Amino acid sequence: MKVAAIDCGTNSIRLLVADIVDGKLTDLAREMTIVRLGQGVDATGAFASEAIERTRLALEKYVAQILDLGGVDAVRMVATSATRDASNRDVFFDMTRTVLAPIAEGAVAEVITGDEEARLSFAGAVGDLDPSAGPFLVVDLGGGSTELVLGDADGVRAAFSADIGCVRLTERCLPSDPPSAEEISDARSFVLDRLSPAFAAVPVAEAKTWVGVAGTMTTLSAIAQDLSAYDPDRIHLSSIGFEQLNDVCARLVSMTREERAALGPMHPGRVDVIGGGAIVTGVLAEEIGRAAGISSLIVSEHDILDGIALSIA
């Protein structure tokens, strides 16, 4: 079965075209475009027209790419945190229905719950890991939300979607370049407040391995490895000890925008929000280390996008 999975988050829209055989994915295309769909949603409660237009242009390119590959048997487009929060999301849905029509008449983006987002992330993240390393705590740090999922080879035990992400935190707490000490302190307090329900709902202490997915985590791995350019093969299943992880996070938060932009693996669309992501990651490391005695982060290139593709079959 040949499928197309599209993940439209707060900061990026991503495409995976893959063959599925016996429950395993073989990639035919994997793409990511920063569109910042969630621009201003935290403050206004609505999508900005320019954000919808950026997303439309990226989605049109993905549809053209799918057609160039000969089409697919099925497509699923999932929208997450920003779309759950936007009052004018019908405009977004109408756009996706129109753009997706050439590959699947009647297809439209679907808003999933935070719980389903967490479960799809888990399914995608742990496929290449040794089951004996579980239970796994998978953390999907996105632009508008952060999902914590605990599970093992038998499936998900507990999950929670926290209303905090790199875009939301940056827009709310980090106006300066670089952020002031007071802004960083306030941001950490805000992150702790938003993550507290997640740590109450998910028994983190049961985890043996922490797995981080999505753009903040993969970028932190690339910087920790001192890569000159983003290299998915070197990032996938890389391990970062907490001492090094905290050092990278602290350096990113203290940098100016110009300094962050000059980093070789840094995607231009992440320059403005990676500091916020680093703060969330630092708080996570502190809390996970204390609760579970874990001292390193495993970074996976496979995440909710892979989970969406597997859910189609």
Average pLDDT of every residue of the chain: 93
Q: Give the pair of three-digit tokens for residue 241.
A: 């000890």
* pLDDT tens string 92-130: 999 999 999 999 989 999 988 878 888 888 989 998 899
pLDDT at 86: 85
123 within 8 A of 307, measured Cβ to Cβ: yes
Angle at 228 between CA 248 and CA 127, to 5 degrees: 70
Domains contained in the chain, CATH given = 2-111 (3.30.420.40), 125-303 (3.30.420.150)
**CA-based nearest residue to 212, from 308, 79, 304:** 304
137 within 8 A of 121, measured Cβ to Cβ: no
275 within 8 A of 251, measured Cβ to Cβ: no
214, burial (CB in 10 Å: exposed 0-12, middle 13-18, buried 19+): buried
The pTM assigned to this predicted structure is 0.82
293 within 8 A of 236, measured Cβ to Cβ: no
Which one-letter DSSP state was computed for residue 214? S
Residue 59: pLDDT over 90: yes
pLDDT at 81: 63
Q: What is the mean pLDDT of residues 225-236?
A: 95
Report the alpha-carbon distance of residue 5 to residue 20 in Å, rounded: 12
* pLDDT tens string 259-309: 999 999 999 989 999 999 999 999 999 999 999 999 999 999 998 899 999
Q: Helix H segments across the chain?
A: 41-44, 49-68, 81-85, 89-100, 114-125, 166-173, 181-201, 215-224, 232-235, 242-254, 257-261, 274-292, 304-312
151 Cβ partners below 8 Å, 6+ apart?
A: 122, 126, 134, 135, 136, 138, 157, 158
* pLDDT tens string 6-25: 999 888 899 999 999 988 89
